[in-house]
Every structure is written in C-alpha cells, then in structure tokens.
Amino acid sequence: MTRHEPRTFLKSLFQAAVAAADPKDALRPYLPEKPKGRTIIVGAGKAASQMAAAFESLWDGPIEGVVVDRHGKTTATRQIEVIHAAHPVPDTSGLAASRRLLETVTGLTSDDLVIALMSGGGSALLPLPTGDLSFEDEAEVNRILLSSGAPIAAMNVLRKHVSAIKGGRLAKAAAPARVVSLLVSDVAGDNPAIVASGPTVPDMTTPADALEIIEEHHLMLPEKVMAHLRSSAAFAPRPDDPVFERNVAHVIASAHLSLQAASAKAAQLGLPCVVLSDAIEGEAKDIARMHAAITRNVVRYGEPFKGPIVLLSGGETTVSMRGESGGKGGRNTEFLLALAQGIEGMDDVHVLAADTDGIDGSEDNAGAFADGKTMSRMRAAGIDPRKSLCKHDAWTAFAAVDDLFVTGPTGTNVNDFRAILIGS
C-alpha cells in the first residue's frame, strides 16, 4: 500500500465527486438524436442555468427555450433565456415562470423535441395552483410541508397533486412533442419523478396517496385544499398515458453517482472505500457523532470495516440554531467540529467534509479538514472548540487553525460530500 498525503488524497476524492456532477460532462452521454422539428429547452432548479449553458455548448443546432433558476447570480447563457424565482419559499415570480414554461411547450408538433433540464429546488421555483386553489393555498401547503419534517419524496407526492405543472403536467402540455428529461438528482434513490416534483415525469402516485401522507404526518391543511384532493381535479397524468410513450428520463448526476466516482478514485489510488449512504440527513452534530462512533469502531475493532479504508457519505444535514448565534459557518464545518471531538487523539484519521457546490454556508469555503489533532490545535490557537460548536461558529474555529477547504463555486451541486480516511 502506498502512503498517501491524507489531505491531497481526500481532495482528489472530492474533485472526482464534483467532476462526476459537472453538467457538461454529465450531459454528454445522454444527448438525444436531433429532431426533424424544433428543439425546445425548458428547465427549473438550482442547477438550471448551469445545465442550460452546458447544453448549449454541447448541442450543435438551433435551440430556444427558457429555464428558471434562483434569484441571484446565475450562469450566463447565449440562446436559452434564464428567468428567476424565489427559493425555498415560492413567490409570484415563480408563478409567472411556471406559466412561461407551459407557454413555451404549447402548440408543438410530434416532430419537435423538448429537453427538460430539472434539478433540486425546481419544486419551489415552479408554483402554479390547480383547480380552485389560489397561489396562497399552494404556498400554505408548502409552508406546512417544510415544517413537518416529512421526507422530500412524501412532500413531492403532495405538491404534484395541488399543482398545474408538476407530476408530468408540463410533459402532457408538450404533447405530441417528444420530451427528454435530463435530471440532476438531490433526492434519495434518484427517482426521476421526485426530482423537482417531476414536471415532465409522471408517476403512479394518486390523490389517495397524498391524503394518506397528510394523515400519517398529521398535517393540518386548509379545508379548501382537502376538498380539492378529494375531487377529480387533483388527479395527475398517469405514466401509462400514450402521450408519454416516446419520452425518456435520465438522472445525469446525483450524490450516488458522485460518491461512486469518488469511490472509484480511491480504488485507483489503492485504498478500499465504502459508501455509507448517499442520503444521510439529520442534525449535523448528531450525524457527526455517529460517524465518529463508526470510525472509533473501525480503529479499535476493525469493524464493521477493516482499515485502511475510506468511509464516504452524502446527503444534506441540517443545523438548528439554538439561542443567540451570530456564528460563522455551514453544515459541513459544524459536522467536522463535532466530529473532531469524537476522533480526538486518533493519529490515523483524516476527514474532509464539503459542500459540492463549493460554498458551505455563510463564508467562502467549501468545507474544511479535520483529524485527531484538530481539537488540540484549536485549543493551542486560543479557541474553545466546544464553545465554538455551541455558538455555531465552526468557520472561525477552522479558520484559526488554517484548516478551511476553499474551492470557489464548482458550478454544480449534489449536496454534501464527506470522506473519512482511516489508516493510510
């Protein structure tokens, strides 16, 4: 086994994960054949403008269309228009955006091709109530869902049944044109119908499923919404509808695919690697404690894996702010600061945790490095790591020991990337 410089090694795994999610490289294998008619691009999500720019650079032929991205800085495009809407709480600009997407695919022929570029966050960017519901009704459903703790798959079942664009309705509007959906997934299991609540990808869920989720999660929805869900207006198109016959959907990038790429990179560098999960959620510091416990188990007992080994995990943790804060940092540095306590004194453990979009929370770093000596280095630098964690001030603690990991924006996003190198 060759000896690796731990941080260089971990960095190369991160780069492999990010490269696998690069929109241009990821789109290339899934480009469809050119149609006889027009090529229309629609899209929504936090990666919409990046995907649109990448698609433009790959496609040689006339294209037109519009994608909706978050307010703020987005990637420049030449032919495809980029419009903006609010995320994660929808606003009326999203309403206009949804109507634009539907108009863009209306009146097409069977010779035309629609490319749908969907990514995480698309659901919030595309509000458009159906039936008798108002924008406020749909927004209220979303507010209740976000505070319910329900998994994203359950949320999206509900969203698609109160929407005039989700759950395959955008694809239905595009008929008889063929629709090719190319997706960057941020959902566990990479189900195409769940990414952005599947505007172009219908699934088999029904209003009855939505009602069951409401009961299961004890959601108190407005009576108007309940009445709608009990009416025929709530039914979304079914996947076996003949108009979808020629359509396809591909997940071009996801946490799963990126972790596999990182895993392959580790193997290439001569170290075994195991993916714990591509979808670990939960409070960052508790998730860190669990990663630390598994790490200790590997170090002490060679269980459940024998070292040397790299443990990889992805997903999106959360940080619940307690009391007054004002601290700097994001969920990855918070994760690492809590993890550092659990691996203190372990000489042969090195960790990188970073957001694959290149920005972890409030500052300019993607994440940070931690190891068995992080705690003592911080104390020597006059930082009390436990207090820093309580104040959610992990960035300051890692900055004080110069262990931040800075990449700049990466141009893609498949959530968090965590790699724990045990032994070397």
Partner 1 sequence: MLAKETIGDLDAEQVLRRLFDAALDAALPDEKFDAILPARPKGRTIVLGAGKASARMARAFEDAWGEPLEGLIVTRYGHAVETRHVKVVEAAHPVPDEAGLKATREIVEMARGAGPNDLVVVLISGGASSLLTMPANGISLADKQNITRQLLRSGAPIGAMNAVRKAFSAVKGGKLALAAAPAKVVTYIISDVPGDDPATVGSGPSIVTGADLDDVQAILRRFRIDIPEHAAQSLVANSAPEAETDRNTVHMIATPRMSLDAARREAEAMGIAAVILGDAIEGEAREVAVAMAGIVRSIIQYNTPFAPPCVLLSGGETTVTLRPEAVGRGGRNTEFLLALYLALKPYSQVAAIACDTDGIDGTEENAGAWFDFSSDFSGPSDPAAYLDRNDAYTFFRAAKRLVVTGPTYTNVNDFRAILVR
- Here the tokens at position 189 are 């299991």
Three-state SS at 178: strand
CA gyration radius, the chain:
23
Among 80, 126, 187, 279, binds partner 1 (CB under 8 A): 279
> Which residues face 83 on adjacent strands?
68
Which runs of consecutive H residues, i.e. helices, occur in 92-197? 92-104, 122-125, 135-146, 152-160, 169-174
d(CA 388, CA 281): 22
Question: Judged by CB under 8 A, which stretch of 74-82, 168-176, 241-249, 293-301 contacts partner 1?
Answer: 293-301
147 lies in the site for partner 1, by CB under 8 A: no
Q: Which amino acid is at 203?
A: D
Longest dimension (CA), the chain: 69
Minimal distance in Å, beta carbon 190 to partner 1?
Answer: 8
Among 136, 241, 364, 384, binds partner 1 (CB under 8 A): 384
d(CA 61, CA 64): 10
Question: Judged by CB under 8 A, which stretch of 228-236, 238-246, 283-291, 392-400 contacts partner 1?
Answer: 283-291
323 lies in the site for partner 1, by CB under 8 A: no
Applying the rule CB under 8 A, the residues between 152 and 191 that interact with partner 1 are: 153, 188-189
Among 56, 140, 283, 363, binds partner 1 (CB under 8 A): 283
d(CA 165, CA 65): 17
421 lies in the site for partner 1, by CB under 8 A: no
Minimal distance in Å, beta carbon 121 to partner 1?
Answer: 21
Minimal distance in Å, beta carbon 17 to partner 1?
Answer: 15
Q: Which amino acid is at 358?
A: G
- Here the tokens at position 332 are 């990855």
Among 111, 132, 216, 347, binds partner 1 (CB under 8 A): 216
d(CA 45, CA 237): 22
Minimal distance in Å, beta carbon 289 to partner 1?
Answer: 4
The site that binds partner 1 (CB under 8 A) totals a number of residues, namely: 43
Q: Which residues of 271-284 are buried (b: 16+ CB within 10 A; e: fewer)?
A: bebebbebbbbebb
- β-pair type (113-119, 178-185): parallel
Beta carbons within 8 Å of 192's beta carbon, 6+ residues apart: 181, 183, 185, 198, 201, 249, 250, 251
Applying the rule CB under 8 A, the residues between 38 and 57 that interact with partner 1 are: none
Q: What binding mask, one character per residue, do residues 259-278 give for partner 1 by CB under 8 A, x or -? A: ---------------xxxxx
Question: Judged by CB under 8 A, which stretch of 1-9, 148-156, 168-176, 404-412 contacts partner 1?
Answer: 148-156
Nearer to partner 1, 25 or 212 (CB): 212
Nearer to partner 1, 123 or 254 (CB): 254
382 lies in the site for partner 1, by CB under 8 A: no
Chain residues binding partner 1 by CB under 8 A are 148-151, 153, 188-189, 215-218, 256, 274-283, 285-287, 289-290, 293-294, 296-297, 300-301, 303-305, 313, 315, 344, 375, 384, 386-387
